[in-house]
Amino acid sequence: MSSPELARRRWDLLVVGAGTAGLIGAQVAASLGARVLLVERDRFGGDCLWTGCVPSKALLSAAHAAAGARDAAKYGVHVGDVQVDGPAVLAAVRQAITTIAPVDSPEAVRASGAETATGSVRFTGATGAEVDGVPVRFLQALVCTGSAPALPEVAGLADVEPLTTDSVWDLPDLPDRLAVLGGGTSGCELAQAFARLGVSVTLVEAGDRLLAGEDPKASEAVTAALRRDGVDVRTGSTPVRVTGDPTGGRLHLADGGTADFTRLLVAVGRTPRTGGLGLAAAGVAVDERGSVVVDDALRTTNPRIWAAGDVTGHPAYTHVAGVHGNHAALNAVLGLRRRIDLAAVPRVTFTRPEVATVGEPTADPGPDRRVHTQPLRRADRAIAEQATDGFTRLVVDGRHRLRGATVVGPRAGEALAELTLAVSRGLTTSHLTGAMHPYPTYADPQWNAAIADFRGRLTGRSGRVALTALRLARRARLAIDDRRTGRPTGAGSGRPQIAIAASTSASAPEPADPLELMRPDSST
Ligand SMILES: Cc1cc2nc3c(=O)[nH]c(=O)nc-3n(C[C@H](O)[C@H](O)[C@H](O)COP(=O)(O)OP(=O)(O)OC[C@H]3O[C@@H](n4cnc5c(N)ncnc54)[C@H](O)[C@@H]3O)c2cc1C
Ligand SMILES: NC(=O)c1ccc[n+]([C@@H]2O[C@H](COP(=O)([O-])OP(=O)(O)OC[C@H]3O[C@@H](n4cnc5c(N)ncnc54)[C@H](O)[C@@H]3O)[C@@H](O)[C@H]2O)c1
Question: pLDDT band at 490, cuts 50/70/90?
Answer: low
CA dist 40 and 114 (Å) reads 13
| Confidence (pLDDT) at 80 | 94
Ligand 1 first shell, C-beta below 6 A: 16-22, 39-42, 46-48, 52-53, 56-57, 120-121, 144-146, 165, 186, 273, 277, 309-310, 316-319, 321
CA distance 463 to 451: 14
Task: Find how far residue 461's CA is from the centre of its chain.
Answer: 39
Strands 134-143 and 128-131: antiparallel
Mean pLDDT lowest among 2-16, 307-321, 435-449 = 2-16
How far is 334 from 354, CA to CA, in rounded Å?
Answer: 40
- Which of 54, 57, 318 for mutating ligand 1's site (highest number of atoms within 8 Å of CB)? 318
Per-residue pLDDT band at 1 (split at 50, 70, 90): confident
With bands split at pLDDT 50, 70 and 90, how would you rate the model's confidence at 4? Answer: confident
Give me the sign of the Cα torsion angle 37, 42, 44, 49.
Answer: negative
- The C-alpha atoms of residue 354 and residue 173 are separated, in whole angstroms, by 26
Query: Poorest-confidence range of 67-71, 227-231, 520-524?
Result: 520-524
Q: Which residues contact 143 (CB under 8 A, 6 or more apart)?
A: 16, 17, 277, 279, 284, 292, 300, 305, 306, 307, 308, 311
Using the Cα atoms of residue 179, residue 182, residue 186 and residue 188 in order, give the sign of their dihedral: positive
Is the pLDDT score of 510 beyond 60?
no
What strand order describes the sheet that includes 391-396? Answer: 347-349, 354-359, 402-409, 391-396, 370-375
Ligand 1 center to 415 CA (angstroms)? 25
pLDDT of 522 strictly over 60: no
Rounded to an integer, the average pLDDT of 484-505 is: 49
Distance from C-alpha of 77 to C-alpha of 79, rounded to nearest angstrom: 6
Is the pLDDT at 517 greater than 70, yes or no? Answer: no
Greater confidence, 412 or 521?
Answer: 412
Q: How confident is the model at residue 3 (pLDDT cuts 50, 70, 90)?
A: confident
* 20 within 8 A of 146, measured Cβ to Cβ: no
Residue-wise pLDDT for 383-420, tens only, equals 999 999 999 999 999 999 999 999 999 999 999 999 99
What the chain holds in terms of domains, given with CATH numbers, is 3-44+105-148+271-334 (3.50.50.60), 158-268 (3.50.50.60), 353-458+509-522 (3.30.390.30)
For residue 245, report the distance from its CA to the centre of ligand 2, in Å: 25
Contacts of 88 (CB under 8 A, 6+ apart): none
Q: What is the ipTM of this complex?
A: 0.99
> pTM score, two decimals?
0.93
What separation in angstroms does the CA of 494 have from each of 190, 487, 506, 508? 70, 17, 19, 21
Confidence of residue 505 (pLDDT cuts 50, 70, 90): very low
pLDDT at 489: 61
